[in-house]
């Protein structure tokens, strides 16, 4: 007897649109008719011009904002509110400045009702994984930007999320730190088994990280194209195929940025 194995997507985006209706201003069509899946353990990068709705999409998957139409499911369940299974990390690590690094990492666990001794153990283990064992009792402002982002990763990972969302997490870091953070992220992604959805403006970052890159159109954001990156990791930056991907994304983005400018000038 044969049995087919069907894997349920970690995230299913079904015909999702979002219209923002800010008070006293005209409505904004942020996203239109998005439709794609993220597989369990998959690394997906969202690439698109600024203002095309990438952050909006992450907020909706996180359960912080409702869709205007369409459906978002995680692990087969409709997203209706935030959940520890869906972690979100912003560009500037949003650590509590008055708590130590270890207490920041343990904070979410206290909401989940994990007891203090166990919280501390988990925080120590997570901070070890991100290379911050020496920083347990430091305050966030005693750490560099890269270290704060690693602490934010540790805090998200402590919750054992099935989906980790990152909104331009390394955009504020210098080039060298950024490259190291990408290596670090690939390592914790492999260890955690979580699906990652990462937003970036950087074509090189997209190629360095992604299993698949989802390219958005200018606003209203739609899926322009989805490009699987068929290269081994670490990505061979000298390979001709690497440069083909680079040229492809440069062309795709340039067309959208131009379109956005033309529309702005016409308005």
Ligand X SMILES: Nc1ncnc2c1ncn2[C@@H]1O[C@H](COP(=O)(O)OP(=O)(O)O)[C@@H](O)[C@H]1O
Residues that bind Mg ion (CB under 5 A): 55
Does 22 interact with ligand X (rule: CB under 6 A)?
Answer: yes
Does 61 interact with ligand X (rule: CB under 6 A)?
Answer: no
Q: Does the N-terminal peptide bond of residue 200 adopt cis geometry, omega within 30 degrees of 0? A: no
Minimum CB–partner distance for residue 252 and ligand X (Å): 15
Q: Does the N-terminal peptide bond of residue 220 adopt cis geometry, omega within 30 degrees of 0? A: yes
The length of the chain in residues reads 267
Residue 56 or 104: the one with the smaller Cβ distance to ligand X is 56
Minimum CB–partner distance for residue 221 and Mg ion (Å): 11
Minimum CB–partner distance for residue 18 and ligand X (Å): 8
Question: Of these, 54, 119, 155, 162, which contacts ligand X (CB under 6 A)?
Answer: 54
Q: Please list the residues that pair with 172 across neighbouring strands.
A: none
Residue keyed to tokens 């704060």? 148
The Cα–Cα gap between 54 and 198 comes to 9
Minimum CB–partner distance for residue 149 and ligand X (Å): 18
The Cα–Cα gap between 115 and 163 comes to 24
Minimum CB–partner distance for residue 164 and Mg ion (Å): 17
Question: Of these, 17, 44, 47, 56, which contacts ligand X (CB under 6 A)?
Answer: 56
Structural tokens at position 179: 């490259």
Question: Of these, 12, 16, 47, 55, which contacts ligand X (CB under 6 A)?
Answer: 55
The Cα–Cα gap between 176 and 183 comes to 11
Site track for ligand X across 196-235, x = CB under 6 A: -----------------------x----------------
Q: What Cα–Cα distance (Å) separates residue 255 from each residue in 216, 246, 260, 266, 267?
A: 11, 14, 9, 17, 19
Residues near ligand X (CB under 6 A): 20, 22, 28, 30, 48, 50-56, 219
């Amino acid at each position: 007897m044969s049995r087919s194995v069907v894997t349920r997507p970690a995230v299913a985006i079904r015909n999702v649109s979002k219209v923002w209706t800010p008070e006293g201003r005209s409505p904004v069509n942020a996203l239109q008719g998005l439709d794609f899946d993220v597989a369990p353990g998959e690394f997906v990068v969202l690439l698109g011009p600024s203002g095309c709705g990438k952050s909006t999409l992450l907020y909706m998957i996180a359960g912080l904002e409702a869709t205007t139409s369409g459906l978002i499911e995680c692990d087969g369940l409709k997203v209706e509110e935030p959940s520890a299974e869906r972690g979100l990390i912003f560009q500037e690590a949003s650590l509590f400045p008055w708590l130590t690094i270890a207490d920041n990492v343990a904070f979410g666990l206290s909401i989940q009702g994990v007891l203090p001794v166990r919280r501390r153990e988990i925080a120590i283990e997570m901070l070890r994984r991100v290379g911050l064992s020496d920083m347990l009792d430091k305050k966030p402002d005693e750490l560099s930007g890269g270290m704060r982002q690693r602490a934010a990763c540790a805090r998200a990972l402590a919750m054992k999320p099935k989906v980790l969302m990152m909104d331009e997490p390394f955009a504020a870091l210098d080039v060298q730190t950024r490259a190291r953070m990408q290596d670090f992220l690939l390592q914790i992604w492999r260890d955690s088994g979580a699906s990652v959805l990462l937003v970036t403006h950087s074509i090189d970052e997209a190629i360095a990280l992604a299993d698949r890159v989802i390219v958005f159109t200018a606003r209203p954001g739609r899926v322009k194209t989805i490009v699987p990156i068929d290269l081994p990791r670490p990505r061979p930056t000298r390979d001709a195929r690497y440069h083909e991907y680079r040229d492809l994304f440069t062309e795709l983005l340039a067309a959208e940025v131009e379109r956005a400018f033309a529309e702005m000038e016409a308005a």
